[in-house]
Amino acid sequence: MTHATGNPDALTHLREQLAAFADARDWDQFHNPKNLAMALTGEVGELVAHFQWLTPDEAANLPPATRDAVALECADVLLFLLRLTDKLGIDLAAAAEKKLKLNALKYPVEKSRGKATKYDKL
């Protein structure tokens, strides 16, 4: 399976690096699913804060410094999500592929193209 980086094992490698990082700091004791889900929510809030009050055009054309800050917040979100899925024994890439297939069934092209309507209202 190939990921955005072009490295077929990018998520696996990142998950292993993250586990080693936490282990070296004896943080595994704090990394239970509840705490990780809560930390993930906090990081999503920090990401969203960069877009609060921006127009859609401003949000799509962030200044370089803001874009860099957003990139780091996105990384925080990914890292906490990856750590959570690791602790729960979830293959994140496989779950994402499954979800894409389910969404394709819920949002058939002929009914959903160009619409932001929720699947149960199509």
Q: Is the pLDDT of residue 69 over 70?
A: yes
Greater confidence (45 vs 118) lies with 45
DSSP string, 55-111: -HHHHHS--HHHHHHHHHHHHHHHHHHHHHHHHTT--HHHHHHHHHHHHHHHS-HHH
Tens digits of per-residue pLDDT, 7-39?
558 999 999 999 999 999 999 999 999 999 999
The amino acid that residue 61 corresponds to is N
* pTM (two decimals): 0.86
Tens digits of per-residue pLDDT, 90-100?
999 999 999 99
Report pLDDT for 119. Answer: 84
The pair phi, psi for residue 70, each rounded to 5°, is -65, -40
Half-sphere exposure of 66 (CA within 13 A, CB side): 13
The architecture in CATH of the region 30-107 reads: Orthogonal Bundle (1.10)
For residue 114, what are the CA distances in angstroms to 49, 79, 99?
28, 32, 20
Greater confidence (7 vs 61) lies with 61
Report pLDDT for 120. Answer: 86
Torsion sign across C-alpha atoms 85, 90, 93, 97? negative
